[in-house]
Chains A and B, each alone.
Chain A
Amino acid sequence: QKEVEQNSGPLSVPEGAIASLNCTYSDRGSQSFFWYRQYSGKSPELIMFIYSNGDKEDGRFTAQLNKASQYVSLLIRDSQPSDSATYLCAVWEARGSYIPTFGRGTSLIVHP
């Protein structure tokens, strides 16, 4: 049973701070890692994905992957109240099948 674990939160940060969202996964065969943002009552929207160990930056967002520790994180710099949402981590296996496993998400609250 593949597992993707996220702290459900809520994680509360002040406006302008760095929000750090974490995700661990159980399957060492996992190859692709995706972060989504989901506003309440809406569908998920892709923020970014990462395949290789290290950091990947896109605007205010940085994804960090450590396959040895089976750990992926998302940093949001200069957090804004509009970033308040649930952040979902998804892990795709690449051995023989491409089936994604999602975590249950972390609720982020950015307060002014």
Chain B
Amino acid sequence: DAGVTQSPTHLIKTRGQQVTLRCSPKSGHDTVSWYQQALGQGPQFIFQYYEEEERQRGNFPDRFSGHQFPNYSSELNVNALLLGDSALYLCASSSGIPPGDEQFFGPGTRLTVL
């Protein structure tokens, strides 16, 4: 079992561009949550997907959107990138919410916006 995978590992974009990040959850997990972690900060919850629907959303603008596919994999899309969007984007998979002891984070995607 590969665990939670994310792609790409690193990404460099310029302001105003759009980006798509991808996540494949651990086998058997049906819930995917996305987080943004700025340097020196804790992760901030963006949103969570279950059964292909956005179930919960944190305090992020509509520029942040997502999708979950029937195989439970997920995408995070960010439009009109700002310098402040530079961060580590983490995907976490679980089976149920709250996650209990079955919660695993992917390695993250490091996004740099120039």
Q: Which residues of A contact B (CB under 8 A)?
A: 4, 6, 31-32, 34, 42-46, 48-49, 88, 90, 92, 94, 97-105
By the criterion CB–CB under 8 Å, are B97 and A98 in contact?
A: yes
- On chain B, which size bracket covers the interface? 20 to 34
| A99: chain B residues within 8 A (beta carbon) | 45, 56, 58
Query: Given the known A-B contacts A42-B107, A46-B104, are A103 and B42 also in contact in the complex, defined by CB atoms under 8 Å?
Result: yes
Question: Given known contacts A6-B42, A98-B97, A105-B41, what 19 new A-B pairs fall within 8 Å (CB)?
Answer: A31-B98, A42-B107, A43-B105, A43-B108, A44-B43, A44-B105, A46-B99, A46-B101, A49-B98, A88-B42, A90-B43, A98-B98, A99-B56, A100-B33, A102-B35, A102-B42, A102-B43, A102-B44, A105-B42
By the criterion CB–CB under 8 Å, are B42 and A94 in contact?
A: no
**Once the chains are docked, how many angstroms separate the CA of A102 from the CA of B25?**
21
Q: Which of B42, B56, B88, B104 has the most CB of A within 10 A?
A: B42
By the criterion CB–CB under 8 Å, are B43 and A88 in contact?
A: yes
B60-81 residues with Cβ-Cβ distance < 8 A to A are none
Interface of A is mostly: strand
B3-26 residues with Cβ-Cβ distance < 8 A to A are none
| A102: chain B residues within 8 A (beta carbon) | 35, 42-45
* Nearest-Cβ distance from residue B100 to partner chain A, whole angstroms: 7
Is residue B28 within 8 Å, beta carbon to beta carbon, of the partner chain? no
* Nearest-Cβ distance from residue B30 to partner chain A, whole angstroms: 14
**Once the chains are docked, how many angstroms separate the CA of A25 from the CA of B93?**
24
Pairs A–B under 8 Å by Cβ, sample size 10: A34-B99, A42-B107, A45-B104, A46-B101, A48-B101, A49-B98, A92-B98, A102-B35, A102-B43, A102-B44
Query: Given the known A-B contacts A88-B42, A88-B43, are A98 and B56 also in contact in the complex, defined by CB atoms under 8 Å?
Result: yes
| B107: chain A residues within 8 A (beta carbon) | 42-43
| A31: chain B residues within 8 A (beta carbon) | 98
Is residue B103 within 8 Å, beta carbon to beta carbon, of the partner chain? yes
By the criterion CB–CB under 8 Å, are A45 and B43 in contact?
A: no
